[in-house]
């Protein structure tokens, strides 16, 4: 129950009149009449039916992309209602115009709008819709909340992932450049006449002997092969969101682009995330439905400040799969001690599977490597950076000696780089 400014103004006016004319009896009657009017206004306002709401927003909602929230407000009462409103969007959002004043005619409806930007991925909760309604006499103001709980899912900026595909040349595969298939593995697609520059290993000698001129076999890469995406969301990838996004934002963008290529080229897609335990697991599947399941299951994945248990993760995965697979592992390599467990387990996994370790390039280390030494602090920082870079290179060479592919890429280029590497492995028949 609230007093309006009009009612407060009338009380102030009455106090002034009472001060100047304290003996006038009609002033007491006027005060009684004012409170009777206030109670009538209160009764009539409370008796009115509360407004009805529907909150609508576009689906899907992308990270860091502005979108408009539409609220349809209906008045079931036989009287028009003037009110002040304020919505409660997720507190993680940047808000523009989520409050205002409106009037709804009797049994009518209006629509109000405001804009949001949410910089983080994940599921976020809307709060209540707050309303303050003025009475017909403008003496009483009623405030209440319309409970309207809604969860909004914010996905990675998938609309940005279409840009590399839109800019490709005719006949070019997604995320890659045209590469000639030198391997004679895969499925045979057709026979054609030999032309200068063709690989002699593809010549079909039986057909050549029968027809009297050289013919060769054209191969297409095999399909229905298992490809897994591993996400190490433990301590090594834990960082806070910045204006350009966390490292896991870039990793998720890359994973979705790679998954799109995997599905398009007829392979089976699976995924697993882990830290000190296995968090999420997606068995292999095929088709665009599998891509949608991947997105729904991993769109809100974030790194946590937990030490990753590689043994537990790889043992769990091996109990679920016995077919040779291509595995992309999104993780990081820092120093020898931190990566010892990872390297020892990758050495075992790499004997039976083709493993690609994907890591983001350390911009800070490169920056420290290039700075000029002007103080003891900078000298110490540069020395540590150089030592970490040397250890990082040594670990990369160790992984390469075990047959593990290592992709160290810039954050902004990770999606295209990993997709191109997948297609390179696909075309050359490496798995």
Sheet containing 151-155, strands listed edge to edge, beginning at the edge strand earlier in sequence: 61-62, 151-155, 122-125
Residue with more model confidence, 253 or 383: 253
What is the mean predicted confidence (pLDDT) over 85-90? 91
Range in 60-69, 202-211, 420-429 with the lowest mean pLDDT = 202-211
pLDDT of residue 243: 52
Q: Return d(Cα 114, Cα 75) in angstroms, integer.
A: 20
158 vs 120: which has the higher pLDDT: 120
Mean pLDDT of the chain: 80
281-305 pLDDT, tens per residue?
Answer: 999 999 889 999 999 999 989 888 8
pLDDT of 325 above 70: yes
Give the span between the Cα atoms of 107 and 117, in whole angstroms. 33
Task: Name beta bridge partners: 3.
Answer: 140
pLDDT, one tens digit per residue, over 346-358 is: 988 988 999 999 9
pLDDT at 197 over 50: yes
Rg (CA), the chain: 33
- Report which of residues 194 and 149 the model is more confident about: 149
Evaluate if residue 338 carries a pLDDT over 80. no
Sign of CA dihedral 306, 257, 224, 360: negative
Domains in the chain and their CATH numbers?
Answer: 1-155 (2.60.40.10), 159-163+222-427 (3.40.50.410)
pLDDT at 161: 53
Backbone phi, then psi, for 321, in 5-degree steps?
-140, 135
Over 90: is that where the pLDDT of 238 sits? Answer: no
Sequence-ordered list of residues with C-beta below 8 angstroms from that of 209, at least 6 positions apart, any chain: none
Sole residue written with tokens 């629509």: 111
Residue 426 pLDDT level (bands cut at 50, 70, 90): confident
The reported pLDDT for the residue numbered 273 is 95
Q: What is the per-residue pLDDT for 24? A: 64
The model carries a pTM of: 0.72
Mean pLDDT of 64-82: 88
pLDDT band at 329; cut points 50, 70, 90: very high
| 304 neighbors 238 (Cβ within 8 angstroms) | yes
> Minimum mean pLDDT among 146-150, 350-354, 378-382, 400-404: which range?
378-382
Q: What's the whole-number mean pLDDT along residues 177-195?
A: 56
Cα separation, 257 vs 174, in Å, equals 9
Burial of residue 151 (CB within 10 Å: 0-12, 13-18, 19+) is: exposed
More confident call, 184 vs 274 = 274
Assess whether pLDDT exceeds 60 at residue 253.
yes
Read off the pLDDT of residues 121-175 as tens digits, 9 standing for 90 and up.
Answer: 889 999 999 988 877 666 777 888 888 888 899 988 765 554 443 344 333 444 4
> For residue 327, what is the enclosing H or E element?
strand 325-330
Express as a percent the part of the chain with pLDDT over 90.
Answer: 27
Average pLDDT over residues 66-93: 89
Return the pLDDT at 144. 86
Q: What is the 3-state secondary structure (H, E, C) of 1-29?
A: CEECHHHHHHHHHHHHHHHHCCCCCHHHH
Half-sphere exposure of 281 (CA within 13 A, CB side): 11
Q: What is the mean pLDDT of residues 76-103?
A: 87
Find the range with the poorest average confidence among 45-49, 101-105, 168-172: 168-172
What local confidence, expressed as pLDDT, does residue 236 receive? 85
């Amino acid at each position: 129950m609230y007093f309006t400014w009009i009612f407060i103004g009338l009380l102030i006016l009455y106090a002034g009149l009472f001060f100047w004319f304290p003996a006038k009896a009609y002033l007491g009657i006027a005060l009684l009449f004012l409170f009777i009017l206030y109670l009538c206004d209160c009764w009539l306002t409370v008796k009115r039916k509360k407004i009805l709401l529907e909150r609508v927003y576009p689906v899907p909602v992308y990270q860091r992309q502005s979108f408009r929230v539409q609220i349809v407000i209906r008045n079931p009462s036989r009287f028009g209602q003037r009110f002040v409103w304020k919505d409660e969007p997720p507190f993680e959002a940047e808000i523009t115009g989520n409050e205002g004043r409106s009037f709804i005619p009797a049994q009518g409806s209006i629509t109000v709008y405001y804009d949001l930007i949410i910089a983080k991925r994940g599921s976020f909760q809307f709060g209540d819709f707050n309303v303050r309604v003025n009475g017909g006499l403008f003496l009483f103001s009623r405030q209440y909340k319309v409970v309207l709980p809604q969860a909004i899912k914010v996905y990675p900026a998938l609309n940005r992932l279409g840009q590399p595909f839109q800019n490709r040349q005719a006949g070019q595969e997604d995320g890659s450049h045209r590469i000639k298939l030198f391997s004679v593995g895969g499925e045979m697609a057709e026979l054609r006449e030999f032309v200068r520059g063709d690989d002699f290993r593809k010549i079909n000698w039986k057909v050549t002997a029968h027809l009297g001129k050289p013919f060769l076999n054209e191969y297409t890469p095999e399909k229905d092969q298992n490809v897994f995406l591993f996400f190490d969301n433990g301590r090594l990838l834990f960082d806070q969101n910045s204006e350009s996004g966390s490292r896991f934002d870039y990793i998720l963008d890359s994973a979705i682009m790679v998954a799109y290529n995997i599905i398009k080229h007829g392979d089976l897609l699976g995924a697993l995330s882990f830290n000190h335990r296995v968090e999420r697991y997606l068995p292999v599947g095929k088709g665009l439905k599998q891509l949608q399941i991947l997105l729904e299951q991993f769109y809100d994945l974030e790194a946590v400040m937990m030490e990753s248990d590689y043994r537990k993760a790889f043992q769990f995965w091996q109990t679920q799969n016995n077919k040779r697979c291509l595995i992309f592992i999104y993780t990081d390599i820092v120093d020898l001690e931190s990566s010892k467990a990872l390297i020892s387990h990758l050495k075992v996994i790499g004997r039976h599977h083709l493993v690609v370790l994907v890591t983001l390039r350390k911009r800070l280390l490169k920056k420290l490597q290039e700075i000029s030494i002007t103080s003891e602090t900078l000298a110490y920082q540069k020395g540590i950076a150089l030592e970490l870079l040397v250890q990082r290179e040594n670990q990369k060479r160790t992984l390469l000696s075990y047959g593990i592919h290592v992709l160290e890429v810039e954050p902004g280029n990770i999606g295209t780089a990993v997709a191109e590497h997948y297609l390179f492995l696909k075309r050359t028949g490496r798995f």
